[in-house]
Structure 1
């Protein structure tokens, strides 16, 4: 759990990517994610191609030898675009890419990305999961091994830890795979 949805997104990107890596990201995408991938990560030598995932050939055509990650949303922010998730995952798996999906708009009520084969799921809690924008937080859902590695260093170094008023032991602070995957 993180202090915000963007803390969850940023920590995930910084965990998996290094200088020289390339990302294929669906477009349109949440503005903060776009800014992170087009500006901030570029400052550290990570490149990104933003493509329309509604045509799987766009994804295939964007794969490069240094592509490390496929990043998308369950439904695109604002436009609610949908695409062939199974097809996108098949491309990611065929090329050994880490697949990350921001499931904020879809929520686990309508889409459970881990069941579809995604490696990492990100949620912003200030949207549909809290229902009234009365909660700021973010969640990363993945395998225990990935979460252990992600939180071993990055959460402390980047400073995106969840504030103390919503702790993992509180009723709204616990999200298991079956809840958010």
Structure 2
């Protein structure tokens, strides 16, 4: 990650201080003065890892969180537990060949929203509806005694035929560019 940020900002990776959240995840970096960025500007980082891929999101002054998962194989019955009744119907009423993909897609939306809002309570995922308001990308994370809750705007990302990925931001993001890990060319593709 540091090498990528160094290439992106055209400076030494050692000159980029990375700030981590309470879980140790890198969440932002301060560009050094030599980059010409205005004082106070920051890169916001989101990282997600699956067994076959790693994604890094970099935004300017907009917190971002990612989730990526391989689409599961086999029966999905027990996997439906952390979903709302509406989400369960959405999955169960889809063609059998699409059920696992839809399930994984909903899960990445929930997980990215939870990561963005700082709420680590994946056990309460069945309270988060990643479907009904998601046409505009809005996912509401309800408040609880332990967490303040919040709103995330999710966007599905291309991740390949057997994987799903999602980015979440605090406000709707105008677009997402996908770059190959070893390239800074914004047209390089996934």
Q: Is the structural similarity TM-score above 0.5?
A: no
The structure with the greater share of residues assigned to strand is 2
Give the TM-score, by structure 2 length. 0.30
Give the TM-score, by structure 1 length. 0.31
The structure with the greater share of residues assigned to helix is 1
